[in-house]
Structure 1
Amino acid sequence: MRELTMPAPAKLNRMLHITGRREDGYHELQTLFQFLDHGDTLHFKRRDDDNVHLASTLAGVADDDNLVLRAARMLQADTGCGLGADIHLDKRLPLGGGLGGGSSDAATTLVALNRLWNLELDLDHLATLGLRLGADVPVFVQGHAAWAEGIGERLTPVALDTPWFLVLHPGIEVSTPQVFGAPQLTRNTPPISMARALQEGPGTWRNDCEATVRRLYPAVDEAFEWLCAFAPPLLTGTGACLFCSLKDEADARKILAQVQEGWQAFVARGRNVSPLHQALRRL
């Protein structure tokens, strides 16, 4: 195999609680991750030298900060692999949207190059590498909807409902450090068990970042209020994207047709198994 095209799906945080702040500045979280059948796509072509070349660049993102390149070079360094790759990224997910786009791109790079370079590393090994790139990378590597704790890296697979979602991006980028550094951010939600969260269900789920993001970013607040006319919205991650859970695709597309100019939106189905891993099984 010399070429491989693989998806890098979006994720939603169906709920997000912040239960404390650690001495190193990171926050203790409890969250439910679920994938969407919508995201970026990466194309890989194996090279017989050790050069890793990303044909597509992201505006404002230096190569040294690009998670795709960092993931590929980390995999080379970890394994001593002398092969390289030409990589092209079809970017659909917004930067700073809370959909995990960069983390998903990194995870797909690790998983795809592991296959393309015949490294035969298991998912736990790849997830450990991915954690060095970001707290969300392991869930994309492991490929199953999950209850997550710690900084989001301690994962327990779960089966969630899989509704249709309308996902709305209000055209801005939210700074995660700004949100987590905000004095007014809720940081003391009492921890709950996974069983309790699942038993209480979607109608009770919330995101502790939501009030702070809406206060700091009026564009998010405006989009939130607009969505309230159709269905109860939730913030994913630290934003900027908001989502509504709908019973069927037609209801979601009715909202999509009314999205105002300057906003971006899409309709997608929730998935408990990542589209990345569904694609792997077809190889």
Structure 2
Amino acid sequence: MTTAYSATLRDCPAPAKLNLFLHITGRRPDGYHTLQTVFQLVDWGDVLHFGRRDDGEIRRVSELANVPADTDLTVRAARLLQAHTGTRYGVDIEIDKHLPMGGGIGGGSSDAATTLLALNRLWQTSVPRAELQQIALKLGADVPFFIFGQNAFASGVGEDLEAVELPSRHFLVVTPNAHVPTAEIFSDPELTRSSQAVTMTDFLAQNASTKGWPDSFGRNDMQNVVAKKYEEVAKVLDWLDIIAASRMTGSGACVFAAFPSQAAALDAQARVPAGWKSAVTASLQRHPLFNFAS
């Protein structure tokens, strides 16, 4: 039987992110790592659809391989917002999955943030952005960034965010044949956990000196650990670095390089070896659902 929805929101984007650099600066007593990074939004992502239910039930109505509905971040996000606001509404959630899992590009986190933003509109709960970010932090360290909705210099565990202006450009993102569990990399004894703290001023100064190409700033402290453990990631880094300066994003496995135009990125993509998945994507200045919170 088809559910008659009281309202719907379809085609809600959940964009990916790239870490232009990622420094691990310490480890807290609770086991969480402190870090510094710059998050870059891009226009490649999953697409979510929401049907508001009047019976209060929250359901995921699409299949997602190896992700049970009860542990799905979108379902958990909906339940958190429902409990926080006391709304009587429920929702059916449908996910068109395009982003690779275990890629370090924030797919699950972005899906959760899009759920919070979309339901804030669909349920008419009007939760302010800062409050939504606090709810989002319960789901994972990257989720508040997507609620923040702007390219950002991040610190803490990733939740302390300052908006940063970044140049418009295109990226080639290559996905190795590897799934990298974030927890495994964070727990590796060889992971650098003592990078010296930097400031957004440091980042912007180098950005200016490189004429808007900030990827030469810093490094990804996780990259060497991942490359040693996962040969496929190392192969992609070696191959892409010949074409343009490349870097792994997040805890991997995706590797990216920046290009001044879509044509240049597409030209590089045409040379990607068979068997590797890839995408050409453009930078975003703001999350497409930015106006769903205030």
TM-score range, shorter chain: over 0.9
> In the alignment, is the contact (CA less than 8 A) between 2:49 and 2:95 conserved in 1?
yes
Look up the match of 1:107.
113
> What is the deviation of 1:64?
2.1
Q: Equivalent of 1:51, from 36, 53, 57? A: 57
> In the alignment, is the contact (CA less than 8 A) between 2:118 and 2:289 conserved in 1?
no
Look up the match of 1:226.
239
For the aligned residue pairs, the C-alpha RMSD in angstroms reads 1.3
Q: Equivalent of 2:42, from 21, 36, 45? A: 36
Which is worse superposed, 250-259 or 6-15? 250-259
1:256 correspondence with 2:269: yes
Q: Equivalent of 1:97, from 92, 99, 103? A: 103
Look up the match of 2:205.
199
Amino acid at match of 1:69: V
Which is worse superposed, 255-264 or 236-245? 255-264
Which is worse superposed, 222-231 or 198-207? 198-207
Runs of 4+ that moved beyond 6 A: none
Q: Equivalent of 2:89, from 74, 77, 83? A: 83
Rounded Cα–Cα distance in structure 2 between residues aligned with 1:141 and 1:37: 16
1:23 correspondence with 2:23: no
Q: Which runs of 5+ in 2 are unaligned?
A: 1-5, 208-213
> What is the deviation of 1:85?
1.1
SS at match of 2:115: helix
Amino acid at match of 1:224: L
SS at match of 1:251: helix
SS at match of 1:275: coil
Q: Equivalent of 1:266, from 274, 279, 282? A: 279
SS at match of 1:271: coil
Q: Residues 125-136 of structure 1 correspond to what in structure 2 (within 5 A)?
A: 125-136=131-142
Question: C-alpha deviations, 1:62-108, integer Å up to 9, x for none?
Answer: 22210000001111111111111111100000111001000000000
Q: Equivalent of 1:244, from 257, 270, 282? A: 257
Rounded Cα–Cα distance in structure 1 between residues aligned with 2:267 and 2:235: 19
Amino acid at match of 2:205: Q
Amino acid at match of 1:206: R
Question: C-alpha deviations, 1:226-253, integer Å up to 9, x for none?
Answer: 1012101011100100000111111100
> In the alignment, is the contact (CA less than 8 A) between 2:144 and 2:159 conserved in 1?
yes
Amino acid at match of 1:83: Y
Rounded Cα–Cα distance in structure 1 between residues aligned with 2:275 and 2:56: 42
Q: Residues 153-192 of structure 1 correspond to what in structure 2 (within 5 A)?
A: 153-192=159-198
> In the alignment, is the contact (CA less than 8 A) between 1:7 and 1:108 conserved in 2?
yes
Q: Would you say how many aligned residue pairs link Structure 1 and Structure 2? A: 280
Amino acid at match of 2:7: R
Q: Equivalent of 2:7, from 2, 14, 32? A: 2
> In the alignment, is the contact (CA less than 8 A) between 2:171 and 2:256 conserved in 1?
yes
> In the alignment, is the contact (CA less than 8 A) between 1:35 and 1:270 conserved in 2?
yes
Amino acid at match of 2:203: A
SS at match of 1:43: strand
Amino acid at match of 2:128: D
> What is the deviation of 1:162?
2.1
Identity in percent: 47
Q: Equivalent of 2:144, from 125, 135, 138? A: 138
